Structure 1
Amino acid sequence: MNSNTGDVQGGLVQAGRVDQLLLQFGGGARPPRPDMLPLDPAFIGFANRTAELDALDRHLDEADEAGRPLIAVLSGMPGVGKTMTALRWAHRVKDRFPDGVLVGEIGGSDRPRTPAEVLGTFLPQLGLADVPAGEQERVAAFRNLTTSRRMLVVLDDAATSAQVLALLPSSAASAVLVTSRRELPFLGGGVVPLPLAPFEEDAALRLLSAAVSEPDAEPALRKLSAACGRLPMALQIAAAGLRGRSSISSYVDRVVADLLDRLEVDGERLLRAQFESAYRDLPDELRRA
């Protein structure tokens, strides 16, 4: 994004080597347009977040008008819907990025992927068949390949600013959307912070109510919503469990009594895994507390 970023990550490779890498596109042919987006969350029950999506639209418009890149960070606690919100927005605006969309899972601090690993996925998507082995060479190749391209890059679950810095495209016309449990203030003053909070109670109740037909279920649903902390992930899993139940109250009582283990998808306790990961990420003093 700026001339200092390459210095932070260890400098550029020699120009001759970059020329060799770029020649792999062959005869000046246009490189491929990557689209690494998975299924749009809108098709699997994405709800709410209208204000956040609209804010991202506005920030993109402002960045375009100013001729600068957009770097935005969606931050929040586990289960608050950062990844789904990022992917929903990426689908919403992908037509504004004619050179493609790259999506990289960084893996947080629990299962971190190095920039070299992520770039090992990105570079072939950009048409580079012979991916260099070293991280500095990969960073340099990535920046050279994105210099004149308008791309959207989604970086999911970043733990540190350093992980993100190596993965910023060099074009001022590009946009980068990062998700993280932290706000990542060290990315710079031009970064747009967008913290996500749990749903408001009314929104949480609407999500749960859409899964039931029982007319007097609201008291039980309010109890379930509170137990879920109005977190989108927990609410979505709970709503799936509500469908087809003959007794809403008995199901809610069982879930509330053992929330982290009762809320599962295909036997996988996703909510427990999220919070265990967040717990392991805490400093020793906070774990003890």
Structure 2
Amino acid sequence: MAQTQTNAKTELIEKSITTRTLQQYTNRVDIVKKFMANRGVETCDASTFAEFLKELSATTGTHKKTTAEGYRSAISFFQHTYGIWMEQGTIWADGWEARRIVAGYGYDAKAAPQTEGKNPRGQIDQEMFNNMMIIATEKYKRFAGALEIGYRVALRPHQLVDLHKGSFKNGKLLVPDKRATSKNGLPITTWKEVVDPEARFILQALEENRTGKYFDFSARDIGEIVKAISKELQWEETLGVSFDGAHCLRHGGMSHIDKIYTENGYDTIQKLQKMQVVETTHTRYTRANAKRQRQ
């Protein structure tokens, strides 16, 4: 009886994501398993995960945080669904340590020297976003809602594609809290206020009409759409900055949300608290494209 219930639960979880996503998760876990086999390791814990990412970085030369988050999400899914690599019944891939490791991997990307000849990353401002959505609604309707949310809520790409039934409630969105550490005791997730009314409308519709994930595509897929529209509108040639993926939406969205809070009388400290970012991140993200250009 217990085995039947377990199988039913596994089948239900598997059906909550697309076949493509399940295949991506499986491929990532298989890569981790290959790493473990080469190292003679029987189980993957947080420290093994950190070593895996270190070798992945050395082998591929990439430091993208989305890459690390993709592997963490895959392991988390397999732990929830199949119970692999558990630590005394605990899903460590959901814990602060795994998220800290991913954050550290992302920091390496920011610290790495900029590629010679590559323009700095740009932000998609309000006018650019409006032009983007004209094209998106005509050519990329499947992605239009995600682009709206990515900009209007200023979400990280992996947060955007991880949204699911239950993520939006009472005008707030449940997202990972990067401020959480083992020392401050903050929970690893937090409810983030959604101040843009259009975003609230879209999220409410998704919450009411989805049974699993809100979107059935990856962060990379969204990034490719952003790059395609950027190329069509010739942003990089015109502005001298790079629009290399969905993170440009977050940069522009930060300015969009900042403007809303400013218009409602919030001071800088209040805005940072509401937006759940530190001042250095806020300053970097809200910097206009003209001030980002390579000198």
TM-score (norm 2): 0.23
TM-score (norm 1): 0.23
| Higher Cα radius of gyration | 1
Q: When you count helix as a share of all residues, which structure comes out higher?
A: 2
